Structure 1
């Protein structure tokens, strides 16, 4: 059975734009998928990346244009300069980790956090927003406070795993054959690879 490690950040607009497609592709190919939320700014620092605010204006302007185009192509609402970004992504990541530890599919929860930040002008670092996203995705809101030490440890380990596996951005997909796919716009390539077409 194929396996996909999905490294992502709840603060990433391109994670939001990925929607539930990673889960759909995994299901299509009978693959397992492990959601591995991480600190994207720390990942940048560890792998030679630059936070958006520190990039050259040319890169910043391109990023905004690219986000707008991708959102339109995907039919998703998106505010390229949301009110609550950047913010602390750890609480939402901890909730995803706790939810995944129940054995449930967290695709809708990942999407809910992305939509809250990038389409709904909500601060995903806040407890009420975290609980609301959990509840709307079919989880017990109390997961927001469950096994936080374990979630914090997993969050830190995900960063180390990402660096060791060769990831450097988000979303980043790595198969069990060590094929790496970076970016929302490479999800179709992941699908083609798992289909044996590339």
Structure 2
């Protein structure tokens, strides 16, 4: 079985616009999808990226145009400047990590729905995803125990830090980013929601 490691940030607009499609692509090909939320600011620092606030005005202006176009193409509403952005991504990331562990143990919940709910809360619903109540609502809506907000904090923090190290080792430099180790050719890397078709083709043996 192919495995796809999904490096994501729960405050990334492009992860939001990815929606649940990567989960659908992996399911169609029988591939295992592993969510690896990480600290995107720390990843940029480690891999030569530039934080949004430090980018040249021309790049910031282009980003806004591209986000508007992507919103129209995907049909997903968004706010260019969310009320709670940038939020502290750690608590929501810990919850996603804890939910994934719970899902592995007993199959409970829908991880794709949870990750998308957290992203939608930030980019479309003007909610603070660092708020325990908001995280709890997203967990519950996706079929998980909202108590994971608290019980998964310690292990979540450890995994969150480990995800960053693994990302750097795997040559990941942005989000969404997928690393697929499907065959003897070694890891195949796909960066950005506009590469989902390529991931689909690769898993299907067409690329």
Q: TM-score, normalised by structure 2?
A: 0.94
Q: How many residues align?
A: 198
* Counterpart for residue 139 of structure 2: 134
* SS of residue in 2 equivalent to 1:7: strand
Structure 1 residue aligned with 2:153, among 148, 153, 168? 148
3-state SS in 2 of match to 1:65: helix
For residues 27-176 of structure 1, the aligned pairs below 5 Å read: 27-102=27-102, 103=104, 104=107, 105-176=110-181
| C-alpha contact 2:94 2:157 (8 A) present in aligned 1 | yes
Q: Tell me the SS of whatever aligns to 1:101.
A: helix
Q: Secondary structure at the match of 2:30?
A: coil
- What are the Cα deviations for residues 133-152 of structure 1, in whole angstroms up to 9, with x where unaligned? 11111111101011311110
Aligned-pair distance for 1:65?
A: 0.9
Root-mean-square deviation (CA, aligned residues, Å) is: 0.8
The C-alpha deviation readout for 1:85-111, integer Å capped at 9, x for no partner, is 001000000000000001244110000
Which residue in the other structure is 1:191 paired with? 200
CA contact (8 A) 2:10 2:93 kept: yes
Residue 60 of structure 1: CA displacement?
Answer: 0.5
Question: Which residue number corresponds to residue 18 of structure 2?
Answer: 18
List runs of 5+ in structure 2 lacking aligned partners: none
Tell me the CA shift for residue 9 of structure 1. 0.3
- Displaced runs of 4+ in structure 1, greater than 2 A? none
* TM-score, with structure 1 as normaliser: 0.98
Structure 1 unpaired stretches of 5+: none
Following TM superposition, by how much is the alpha carbon of 1:192 offset from its aligned partner in structure 2, in angstroms? 1.1
